[in-house]
Structure formats: C-alpha cells, structure tokens
Amino acid sequence: MDSPYKIASAEPQILPVGTGPEAREIPFIAQRPAKSGGPGLFWLSGFMSEMASTKATAVAHWAAEHNLASTRFDYSGHGVASGRIEDGTIGRWLEEAAAVFTEVTAGPQIVIGSSMGGNIALLLLRKLLRERPEEAARIKALVLIAPAWDMTEELMWKRFSEETRREILEHGFFKQPSAYAEPYTITRRLIEDGREHLLARMPFDPGRPVVIMQGLLDVDVPASHTRELTTFLTGGKVKLIEVADAEHRLSRPQDLDLLFAEISKLL
C-alpha cells in the first residue's frame, strides 16, 4: 500500500519519527513528476547543512527538469527541523534518514550524500541490507560527495588535541570553529554514539555502483580519507573522481555539472 506521504509537493511536509521522549518531527520536501523518467533522487545533507542548501536545491531542480522524483529533508537540529543540534547523533540522524527513505520515497532511488550525508548514505544502505533487504533493493546507486565516513572518530576525535578531548570528556561538549557557519557543538554523546555506527575499515560490498566525487583542496574531508574508503568498499563498482581545484563544498557550477553528468550515466 502506498504511503500517505508519497505525494507531490514543493513545500515542506512533516514526518513523525521516534516515540516518547525521542519523538520528533522531520520536515521533508518530496517532489513527484506526473510521469517519472527514471529512479528518484534521495538527498542526504552534511553536518550543519540543510535541504535548502545550494547542492540540495540544485539537485531538486535538476530532477524536476529531467522528469525525476526527488526527496530531501532536514535532520533534527538542522535547517527548519525542530530540536537542538546538541542532541543529535549519527544514530539519530540515521534513524531519520531510514524513516524518510522507507516512508516517503517510492520505487528505485539513487542516494546522494554530501560530507556527513555520504557517511549516512553508506550506513543507510548497510542498515537496510541487514534489516529490510526489500527496501535496500530500491537503492540502485550511491553518489558520495566528499564522504565523511566514520566522521566522529576519524575526522573529529582522532584530530582533536588532548586538551579538546579532555574538555569533551569532562564538560560534555566542545565548540569547534567552522569556516562555514557558527561554531559546531561537538558533544560527548555524538562521539560515543558514533562509535556504535562505524564502518571501521571492514570490507563492505555495496552491491551497486558507487560514484565518489572528491576535491583535492578539501581540508575538511581530505582526499587521503576518501581514497582510504575505496580500499574497503568491495565489489568492483566504485568510481572515484578527483577534482584538482575543488575544495570541500563542490558546489561551483562546474562541480554541479560534473555531478549531474555522473547521475545521468547512472540513469
């Protein structure tokens, strides 16, 4: 039976996720053409990003122009979603991604994840393969943009100074300066929960094409980090595209053109 959420809309709707004290309302935008021309595009934003970002809206517009469905949402504590970023964890945001994917999208999908969204995309596929293989089968490909795999451990905890680690352990949080927005609040809960959701360099066969875009000037998710991801994604369907003059965001017109060219090939 079709979900009541599988309707065309350019305005945010609300999906309830969780129960009791963990109940929250996740805003999403699901756009459906009258007649779809192929798999839908499912967007996963990065840490402290949102569904109104440059890349997310560009993907939605491109999908509409090409007669494709698209779905995007805000994690709790992000964008127009309720909640505090300080309460967020990888597990919490993964639960929200799984809920939106299974309850809002219909038919085959290409999952596109940016930065932390790339990490969530891999965790989402792994979770569905284990728990709901019929839903995992709808994921036809992954497109990962500067994927921050195992972000909380590899790109946060291991990079932090001893002083910063001590502050997190003793006070429960640390204010991380950001080049893109207000300082990020990195909580002890975020770090500890992240350890429950690690890829941990264990061999993982996605079982479908994975296209990775990486800027070589990226200091947030270094190229070496992304190259390492390709060493434990097995199955022979991983394609890494390195952009020599690109930084982390990969949202310039030429970057978006490259993204859409790769999506077109997958279609």
For residue range 199-211, list pLDDT tens digits in order.
Answer: 999 999 999 999 9
Q: 261 vs 6, which has greater pLDDT?
A: 261
Contact in structure between 213 and 143 (CB atoms under 8 Å) = yes
Q: Looking at residue 29, what is its pLDDT?
A: 97
Q: CA-to-CA distance for 177 and 185, rounded, in angstroms? A: 9
Tokens matching residue 159: 């990079």
The helix or strand, by DSSP H or E, that contains position 194, with its residue range, turns out to be helix 188-194
Q: Looking at residue 50, what is its pLDDT?
A: 94
Tokens matching residue 187: 């909580």
Q: Looking at residue 179, what is its pLDDT?
A: 74
Question: Hey, which bits of the chain come out as E strands?
Answer: 13-17, 24-31, 40-44, 70-73, 109-114, 139-145, 173-176, 184-187, 210-215, 238-243
The whole model's pTM is what?
Answer: 0.93
132-145 pLDDT, tens digit each: 999 999 999 999 99
Tokens matching residue 265: 């090939």
5-47 pLDDT, tens digit each: 343 457 899 999 999 999 999 999 999 987 777 899 999 999 9
Q: CA-to-CA distance for 98 and 63, rounded, in angstroms? A: 21
